[in-house]
Every structure is written in C-alpha cells, then in structure tokens.
Amino acid sequence: MADIGVLGLGVMGRNLSLNLADHGYATAVFNRHAEVTDRFLAECRQREPAWHRLQGFHELEAFVSAIARPRRIVLLIKAGRPTDLTIENLLPFLDPGDILIDCGNAHWLDTIRRERELRRREILFVGSGVSGGETGARFGPSLMAGGSLEAWKQIEPVWRDIAAKVDPATGDPIEGAEPGKPVRGGEPCAAWVGENGAGHYVKMVHNGIEYIDMQLIAETYWLLRFLGGFDNAALADLFSRWNEGDLSSYLIAITAAILRQPDPGGEGELVNKILDAAGQKGTGKWAATSALDLGVPANALAEAVFARFLSALVEQRHQAARWLGGPPLQPVDDPDTLARQLERGLYSAKICAYAQGFQLMQVAQEEYGWHFDFATIARIWRGGCIIRARFLNRIACAYETTPDLVNLLLAEDFRQVLNRDHSAWRRSVATAIQAGLPVPALSAALAYYDSYRSRRLPANLIQAQRDYFGAHTYERVDRPRGCFFHFDWHGSRQEAEIPNE
C-alpha cells in the first residue's frame, strides 16, 4: 500500500512526489491525463534513485484504493473551480477520516469553505502553503499548514520530513540536497499555523512580501545601473557582497547570479535582453486586496502590485516616453556613496515590507478567528521559501521577546537600524526622484515609516472635509476617543455631539 498519494503531476506535483519518495514514502501518483503519468514514471526510472517508491494509476478509484487508510492525498492542481471538481470526483471513493491536502495557491476563503463542507462529510481537509518553487518542492520547501489539529497530527511527520531544514544554531538553510540523498537533521521549516484557511492566508502574505522584496531589489538595481553607472559584472559583485551581510537572502543571491548570466542568444548579459514587463499569478493582488478590506496600511505591498501592472503597459510607456518630459538623466559624482546609501535604504525598506506583512496577519487573525505564532512563521520562512533571509532570525527573536509586539518597527533591534539608516534611505529616494527614476516601493515604504512615526497627520483636514460635504462627523483632540461631533458648516455654525448608536 502507498503511504500517501499525489494528484496532479505538473511541475510542483512531480517534484513533491520525488521529494516524498526520497524520504522513504511509497507514493501513489495520478494525473487526469494518463500519458502524463506514464511519461513521468518513465523519466523517473532513468534518473531517480527512489523511482521504485512511485506507483502510477490511470483510474481515480484505483489510485485512491492503493493508499493506506486513513488516506493522505495531496492535491496539486489549478486553484478555483478545478480544485472543487477534483474534490467532487474524489468523494465517492473516500472514507471518514481520510485527509485531502490542498497544496496549490488557493484563496483562503475557498479553503475555509472546503474545510467546512468536508468536515460535515467526516473528511479532513488541510490547506497548506508550499513555498520554494520547483526546487523547493523537490528538495525541501517551506510548508505552512492550515486545518484542524487532528489533520495536522496525521501529516506532521511527513511535512517535517520533506520540508527544508535550517541550522538550529544559526538559522541558515542546510544546503546540499540531491536526488536520493535528502537532508537529515536540522530544524524543519514546516508548521501548523492555524485552522481552516490559515495556511493559505500565511502563504498569500508570504507572496505579498515577496512582491515587495522583488520590487525593492529591482529599483535598487535600476538606480545603481543608471545613476551609479555600474555594469552588470560590478552589480553582481556588489550584490554578492551584500549577501554576506544584513541583506543576506535568497533573492539577493539569485540577483547576483542573474546579473552574471551571459545571453545564450547573443552578446552581453541575458538580463539586458529580457522585456521589462513583469507577470504575476494573483496572490500579490489578493494580499493587497485583503489589506484594503481589513484596513491595514500595506502601501508598499500595493505599490509593488501596481508596479507590475504599470510595467505591462509597454506600448503606452514607449509612447509616453516621447511625449512626457522629465529631468535629464545625470549619473551621480560618487557611485560608491550611492551604493552605500542604497544598501542601508534597501535593508530599511525590507524591514518595513515585512512589518506590513506581519501587521496584515495580525489583523486577519482577529477577523478569521486564528491564533498565529509569529515567531514560528518567521522561523519556517528561514529555509525553502522565496523570501528566506538571514534577518528572519531577528524577526523570530523580536516576537519571542515580545509576543504582543504590535509592529516590527517598534522592536528594539529594528528601531536601532531604522534610527541609524533612515537618513541614507531618504537620500537615495531623493536622488531617484530628482533624476526622474521611479522608485514606488522604496518611496512607499519610506512614507509608511514616516507616517507610522508621526504624532500628527493631516487627516484632521480630511475629516473636516468629509464632515463639510457629507456630515460624516469627526473626533476632537480635546475630547475622549469615540466621541463624535458634527459642525453645521452651511447654516447655524453650531457644533453638536452625535450619540453613539
């Protein structure tokens, strides 16, 4: 009998199946197109040491029957209606206590609904975020499971086995995995984060932070290239040095590698030949929408999403470049100073990016009845996932030291960094604005920082305007919070306190 089943043999399904097999799990696999299953198994026999632990099926009933009870079935298929249809097709063959594990990028509200509906049928449902792309799925992803504790206990040993591992002393990812030789030891980057849709929500926030982080790095690269005059080789060396310090992260490391890659189709580097139109699959937009719905000021997240939207307007931008004026592009006199400013500014902006993500989760848990352990979430993001970074250790320590921390910006460690480096951050943003180069994420993160630290904001005028045209009321600084007033701007010029309803 198989220990577990994987339904869906796209890139992620194939690689997760091999990861399971490497760790000793007999794995049944199924794809709705039988030829995909056959081709996958044939390829595995040629090059995968653990191929004998994989068993393919052409019929759904046979696939389900081959898995030991209580069955654990991983779904790696397209989110939305395809997932619902797959579950409907599986139900006739399932028994009470069986577990379906959705590892796709599902919307958390869909996961909440599915978990509730399946619970009525005595089927356990887990929505698990999986981060790390195809390499992570193959050799160790970051796994964020959501569902009942009963379901988590059934999959916990498997999830901890196949997850990325980090050194418990340093928090650095343990590298060196290869087919048939999984990493042994270390701290697994897998955890139960909460009920029903919590795992998919945490994965969505992860992706939102990923959007900001990528945009911040791209803006920094752009300023260094066009204002600092660095060529790609010098930029690669610079990012490699940064990867040895506070900025050490997967995204910084791959940026250095990308900048060194020669163009396979011609001269120069490949990055220079790639069209400047960024794609997306929607999870960043979901995160920005959730922030708007919950009233969380995640402006850098929204700007990162909007930046991708704007990048896609290639033809319009080319036309606007001919018609709309701006300052002449003038390289700076001291490129090394610009690089130092951007290094400190990028780190400061990254702190704000993560602060916005954790603040979003903090509000969401109140809305959906979850109870997040933010130190645990930071720890499981240290390996396997796209946003893995050395400073996640600092985030974990901040929440361990102050579990009720309301915002990462207020943690002592990060306060010291921001108080030290905000001036360099401002100078780099100001330099970009004066040069006419867009830095939506760097500047939005700075605006968030300045707004959050401001004792007073101009919202008093906005409230007066709202009361003037719509009688929307306002509060007064000389009265207790929660007492609302309306001024008759058009008639008697009298102020009246409005009773709370």
| Catalytically annotated residues | 203, 210
Q: Which residues contact 406 (CB under 8 A, 6 or more apart)?
A: 362
Q: Which residues contact 98 (CB under 8 A, 6 or more apart)?
A: 69, 70, 71, 72, 73, 123, 124
Beta bridge partners of 178: 181
Here the tokens at position 390 are 């050395």
The DSSP string of 33-69 is: SHHHHHHHHHHHHHH-TTGGGEEEESSHHHHHHTBPS
Instruction: Count Cβ atoms within 10 A of the Cβ of residue 60 and give its class: 0-12 exposed, 13-18 middle, 19 or more buried.
Output: middle
Query: Distances in Å between the alpha carbon of 417 and those of 220, 234, 397?
Result: 19, 27, 15
The values of phi and psi at residue 62, to 5°, are: -65, -40
What single DSSP character describes residue 189? S
**CA atoms within 13 Å, Cβ hemisphere of 359:** 24
What single DSSP character describes residue 500? P
CA distance 12 to 472: 51
Here the tokens at position 487 are 């001024």
Amino acid at 101: I
Amino acid at 187: E
CA distance 220 to 226: 10
Beta bridge partners of 54: 27
CB 446 within 8 A of CB 429: yes
- Work out whether strand 484-487 and strand 495-498 pair parallel, antiparallel, or are unpaired: antiparallel
